[in-house]
Amino acid sequence: MARYNLEKQLNILEYALSSLWRRRMKSLSVLLVFGAVIFLLASFQMVTQALSDKARQVLAHTPEITLQKMSAGRQEGIPLAYRDKLAGIFGIRRVVPRIWGYYFDEVRLANYTVMGMAVDEMPEGARLDTALARGTMPGPAEQGRAVIGSSITNALDLAGRDTFSLFRPDLSLKSFVVIGEFSRDTDILTNDLIVMNLADARDLFGIPGGLVSDLCVYVANPTEIETIAKKISDALPSVRVLTRPQIQKTYQAVFGWRSGFGSICLLSALAAFVILAWDKASGLSPEERREIAILKVLGWETRDILAVRFWESVIVSGLACIIGMTAAYVHVVYGAASLFRPVLMGWSVLKPDLHLLPRLAGGDILLILAFTVIPYLAATVIPAWRSATVPADSALGG
Amino acid sequence: MLIELSGVSKTYNQGRANEVRALSGIDLGVEQGSMVCLKGPSGSGKSTLLAIIGCIFPPTSGRAAIAGRQLARLPDRFLTLHRRETIGFIFQRFNILPELTVLENITLPLLPLGVAPKERRQRAQELLERFGISHRAQFPAGQISGGELQRVAIARALINNQPIILADEPTAHLDTNLSREFMEIMQQLKEAGKTVVIASHDPLVFAHPAIDRTVTIQDGRIHVP
C-alpha cells in the first residue's frame, strides 16, 4: 500500500512538472514575481540580522558606563570635577573624559561626528589601534592630529594629501593632519567619525575648560555594571547614566524598528501577490476546465487533481524561495545591501560602505517560509478545490 | 448482463427552477462481448445515458448495475474507482491533450493508479504497436493526423484493460474513411471480448454490421418504433 501511494504521488508529481512546463511562460512569470518578493523579504531579514550582529560586535569595545549631564532634558557639558565625586565608588577602574559633537560641512552638506578622546587614559587605549587600517590614534601631545573614518577621505576630497581644516565657532580655521584611518570593518560606528585628542576637540567646538561632553566609566568587573551604575546615579542625581547593555539594546531597537517598518511595507507587497495568486487560481480557463473534466472521466479523483495543484505550488514556491534567498544573500554580501542601506543605515549623509556577512539561522528561514510559501500554497490550493470539482460529464457531449 | 439498467431516470438541477429531465424510465441490458449503438438526435439524452453507464454519476431514480455494481449505492469516490477499473472512454473529438506527447496521453489513466513509469511505457508501447503508431510515441498529440489521433484515443481507452468501452459521438468530426476505420477497430475489440457502447447518430455507425443492437433515444426515452 505504501509503495502504491508513493508511486501514485511520484506520478502526480511528474504530471505537475509537465503541467508547469506546458504553461512555462505563466509559470516563469509567477516564479520571477514570487522570487522577487522573497528576495526583498529575505534581504531585509538578512541585512537587519547582519547589522545587529555587527553593532553588537563593535559595541563590545565601548565603555561599560557613560555619564552625561542633563539639564532641562537636554545634554550639556559635564564638569571634569565630577570625577572626584566618583572616586569613592568601589569597583570603578577608571573614569575617562570625552568631548564629542557633530560638525556640519556646509560645502558637502554632510554631518561628521567629531570625537576628542584621551586615548592614553583609556584602560585598553592601545587596543584602539587595532580598529585602524593604518596609522595610530592621536596622543595627548599630538596637537592637530586626527584619525578619520573611511567616508571622510572621500567627503573631504583628501586623495593625495593628508591635511584638512574645520571651522571653529568663531569661523577661524583649525587644521589637522591625518595620521590614521579606521578599518572598514568598523564602518557601522566610524564611517563618518573624526577622532582627535581632547584638547583639539575642546578647541574646535569652543568648549570651556573644566567641561567635557561625557565621562566614560570603566569597571573592574563587567558583571557589576548595573550595581555600579546605580551607585553613580545615587551619587550624581543630575547625571544620566548609560550602561553598555542599554546602548546595545537601543541599537537593537533602532534596527528592529526600521526592520519592522520595512517588513510591513514588504509584507504588503507579498499580500498583494498572494491576492493576485488567489484570483488567478480561482479563475479557470476553458482549456483548464476541459483538462480537469477529461482527467476525471479517465478516473482521476478530485483529490488527485488537488494534489497536482499542490505539487505545482510547492515546486513554484520552493524554486522561488531558493532563487529569492540566494539572490538576497548575494545582494547582502556582494552588493552591500544597496537596496536597503538608505532605510537601515539612519540619517547620515555619509552612508557606510559595509561588508556584511548575513547570519541565516534556521528560525529566519522558517519565518520567511511562513510568510511566503504558506500563504502562496493556501492562495493556490484552496481555490483549486473549486476548479477540481468540475463535473466529469462536461467532457462528454462535445 | 454486464450493463443492466431498469427504470433509470436522470433529472438535472432537481427541485430548482432550471430543472431538466434528461432521461425517463430507461430499461436497457447489454451482454458482455456485444456492441450496442445508442442512436438519437442531439439533446435526446444519449450522452447522459452514456455518463450513467460510464459511472460518471448515478441515476436520479431506477437501478443501474454496471459490471455487477449498483451505482445508486456507490458514493462519488467509489464511482470513480469503479470507473477506473471498468470503463474505457472515447470522447467526441477524442479529447486528447494536445500539449502532451502521444505516450503521455495514453498513460494518463494509469497515473492515479500508481503504475510505475516503466510499466506505463511498456503497456502504452504494446497498444501503440497494435494500432501502428509506435513511431509517434514521443510526438506532441497536437501535431499528429486525425486518424492517428483516433487511434491514440482508442489506445487510451484500452490502457487499463477495462471490459467496457464507451464512445460518445466518435465519428462526428471524422471523414468517411476514418469513420470506417474506427468501426473496424471497434469490431476487433468486440471480437476480443470487449463490450462496446457507442452513442452516435451517424449511419456509418448504427448501420455497421458489427452492431448487435441499436437503441433509439428520443426525448429521454427509449423509442420503440
8 A C-beta contact, residue A343 and residue A262 = yes
Residues A113 and A37 in one domain: no
Answer whether B202 touches A (CB < 8 Å). Answer: no
Structural domain that includes position A115: 92-219
Is the Cβ pair B92, A397 closer than 8 Å?
Answer: yes
> Cβ contacts of residue A387 below 8 Å, gap of 6+?
A281, A282, A284, A288, A289, A292, A305, A309
- Residue A255 in any domain: the answer is yes
All three cell numbers of B206: 448504427
* SS3 track for chain A: CHHHHHHHHHHHHHHHHHHHHHCHHHHHHHHHHHHHHHHHHHHHHHHHHHHHHHHHHHHCCCCCEEEEEEECCEEECEECCHHHHCCCCCCEEEEEEEEEEEEEECCCCEEEEEEEECHHHCCCHHHHHHHEEEECCCCCCCCCEEEECHHHHHHCCCCCCCEEEEECCCCCEEEEEEEEEECHHHHHHHCCEEEEEHHHHHHHHCCCCCEECEEEEEECCHHHHHHHHHHHHHHCCCEEEEEHHHHHHHHHHHHHHHHHHHHHHHHHHHHHHHHHHHHHHHCCCHHHHHHHHHHHHCCCCHHHHHHHHHHHHHHHHHHHHHHHHHHHHHHHHCCCCCCCHHHHCCCCCCCCCCCCCCCCCHHHHHHHHHHHHHHHHHHHHHHHHHHHCCCHHHHCCC
Q: Nearest residue of B to residue A18 by CA position? A: B100
Same domain, A372 and A282: yes
Domain boundaries, chain B: 33-55+84-213
If asked whether residues A309 and A368 sit together in one domain, one would say yes
Asked if A56 is an interface residue toward chain B (Cβ–Cβ < 8 A), one would say no
The answer to whether residue A5 sits within a structural domain is: no
User: Would the CB atoms of B95 and A397 count as touching at under 8 Å?
Assistant: no
Closest CA in chain A for residue B171? A398
Give the max Cα distance, chain B.
53
Instruction: Identify whether A4 is part of a domain.
Output: no
Per-residue pLDDT tens for B148-191?
A: 888 899 999 999 989 999 999 888 878 898 889 899 999 999 99
Beta strand B213-218 pairing with B221-222: antiparallel
Cβ pair A15:B111 closer than 8 A? yes
Q: Provide the grid cell at B78.
A: 467509489
> Are both A49 and A106 inside the same structural domain?
no
Determine contact: B117 vs chain A, CB below 8 A.
yes
Report pLDDT digits (tens) over A176-203. 999 999 888 777 778 888 999 999 999 9
Is B112 within 8 Å of A8 when comparing Cβ atoms? yes
Residues A267 and A215 both lie in one domain? no
A386 or B209, which is more confident? Answer: B209
d(CA A135, CA A143): 16
Task: Give pLDDT < 50 ranges for chain A.
Answer: 347-350, 398
**pTM (2 d.p.):** 0.70
Domain co-membership, A262 together with A214? no
Same domain, A269 and A389: yes
Mean pLDDT over all residues of chain A?
Answer: 82
Chain B residues with CB inside 8 Å of A287's CB? none
Cα–Cα–Cα angle for A303, A304, A308, nearest 5°? 110
Chain A (288-307) residues lying within 8 Å, Cβ to Cβ, of chain B: 290-291, 294-301, 304
- In this prediction, residue A334 carries a pLDDT of 82
Q: Which of B95, B113, B117 sits opposite A395 (nearest CB)?
A: B95
On whether any CB of chain A is under 8 Å from the CB of B99, the answer is: yes
- Same domain membership, residue A368 and residue A326: yes
Q: Is B121 on the interface with A (CB under 8 A)?
A: no
| Gap from A316 CA to chain B (nearest CA, Å) | 20
- Whether chain B has a CB inside 8 Å of the CB on A287: the answer is no
What residues in B contact A18, CB-CB < 8 Å? 100, 104
What's the structural domain count of chain A?
A: 2
| Contact yes or no for A46/A334 (Cβ under 8 A) | no
Share of chain B above pLDDT 90, in %: 58
Dig out the grid coordinates for A125 from the structure. 587605549
Same domain, A375 and A283: yes
The pLDDT tens digits for B53-62 are: 999 888 999 9
* A275 and A182 within one domain: no
Residues of chain B positioned with their CB less than 8 A from the CB of A12: 111-112
Q: Are residues A204 and A258 in the same domain?
A: no
**Of residues B81, B104, B112, nearest to A18 (C-beta):** B104
Q: Are residues A272 and A365 in the same domain?
A: yes
Question: Which residue from B minimizes the CA distance to A307?
Answer: B112
Q: Which whole number is the average pLDDT over B40-48?
A: 88
Q: Residue A398: what pLDDT?
A: 40
Helix axes A302-333, A286-297, angle to 10 degrees: 130
Q: ipTM of the assembly? A: 0.87
Q: Chain A residue closest to B92 (CA)?
A: A398
**What residues of chain B, 25 to 44, have a C-beta less than 8 Å from chain A?**
none
Q: How far is B24 from chain A (nearest CA, A)?
A: 18
Q: Which CATH class is domain B33-55+84-213?
A: alpha beta
